[in-house]
């Protein structure tokens, strides 16, 4: 024993930046990251999203540039959200051949079509109705105003096929309808899109942290989505939802939001035999941006710490609005 009486000194491995980097247990890579992007029909200039400083609703032209920038940064993927000029009760623009999301998918594919450097981001599409319905819910409404689960499944199958036809490599059902993965898998396979993957929003919670996203997609929602999104008090239920999606053929599963549900994320990662994603949502982004703007926290440090914690909890894929900046910082 040393004369000081201290046998173990873990601080030795924290002594220099080089040592800390050498023994880091968790590492971020640009390929881990997915950048969510919003494109709004009819815009001639990008529109800043006030509650998400630094984020915009893209025009179709600037969307292509944003996807190209993601490729240059080595980011793993982009998740596309479309905002239509016209909405109706069934979200008919969601699967229209020339609807805004299908156009966005084709623009994204074209923006990176000539790349030969192996850094082409995966083109993902949000497979849901909420951006396209005039009532703002994620599904078709029954006569009593509730969301009709099974009628909505038919619409999801149609959305997925339209997105695959436009060139999406991954479709991402986010509506939390029972049976959505099985329905979409059957629809894709029947249409010949056997190689299109499904990223299932498996444990998606009814969260207060979605607020800024509602501005980003010009949401028309009245009320809430608590009859189909999960209760924040429940963790075992999140595991059950993930298990069901895995049994239905999900190629990847997701926990959303990320930061307040790291326990669920860890548990899903421990039992999943497919890659696990987590979505660092708009409210998580807005909180850090607001605190940093007021000088209360170090922005870069807080961003990297928050995303590293998501990776440490078990996420293989992280959707974050800071993807471009993080890729530059860790390059």
CB proximity list for 130: less than 8 A, separation 6 or greater: 91, 136, 137, 138, 175, 217, 219, 221
- Given a contact cutoff of 8 angstroms between Cβ atoms, the answer to whether 93 and 100 are in contact is yes
Can you spell out the DSSP letters for 292-331? Answer: HHTTSS-HHHHHHHHHHHHHHTT-SEEE-TTHHHHHHHH-
Paired with 279 in beta bridges are: 319
CB proximity list for 60: less than 8 A, separation 6 or greater: 39, 43, 103, 104, 107
- Given a contact cutoff of 8 angstroms between Cβ atoms, the answer to whether 266 and 287 are in contact is no
Q: Which residues are catalytic?
A: 204, 256
């Amino acid at each position: 024993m040393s004369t000081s009486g201290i046998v173990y000194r873990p601080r030795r491995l924290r002594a220099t930046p080089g040592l800390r980097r050498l023994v880091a247990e968790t590492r971020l890579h640009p390929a881990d990251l997915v950048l969510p992007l919003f494109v709004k029909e009819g815009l001639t200039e990008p529109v800043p999203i006030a509650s998400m400083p630094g984020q915009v609703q893209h025009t179709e032209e600037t969307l292509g540039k944003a996807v190209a920038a993601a490729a240059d940064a080595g980011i793993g993927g982009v998740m596309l959200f479309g905002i239509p000029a016209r909405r109706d009760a069934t979200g008919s623009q969601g699967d229209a051949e020339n609807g805004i999301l299908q156009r966005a998918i084709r623009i994204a594919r074209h923006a990176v079509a000539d790349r030969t450097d192996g850094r082409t981001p995966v083109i993902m599409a949000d497979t849901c109705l909420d951006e396209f319905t005039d009532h703002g819910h994620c599904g078709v409404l029954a006569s009593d105003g509730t969301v009709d689960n099974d009628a909505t499944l038919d619409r999801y199958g149609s959305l997925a096929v339209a997105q695959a036809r436009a060139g999406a490599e991954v479709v991402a059902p986010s509506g939390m309808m029972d049976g959505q993965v099985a329905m979409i898998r059957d629809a894709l396979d029947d249409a010949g899109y056997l190689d299109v993957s499904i990223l299932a929003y498996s444990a998606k919670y009814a969260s207060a942290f979605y607020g800024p996203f509602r501005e980003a997609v010009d949401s028309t929602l009245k009320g809430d989505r608590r009859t189909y999104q999960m209760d924040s008090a429940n963790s075992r239920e999140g595991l059950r939802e993930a298990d069901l999606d895995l049994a239905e053929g999900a190629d990847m599963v997701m926990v959303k939001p990320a930061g307040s549900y790291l326990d669920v994320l860890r548990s899903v990662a421990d039992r999943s035999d497919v890659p696990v994603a987590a979505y660092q949502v708009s409210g998580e982004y807005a909180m850090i941006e607001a605190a940093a703007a007021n000088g209360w926290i170090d922005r870069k440090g807080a961003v990297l710490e928050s995303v590293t914690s998501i990776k440490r909890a078990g996420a293989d894929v992280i959707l974050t609005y800071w993807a471009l900046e993080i890729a530059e910082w860790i390059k």
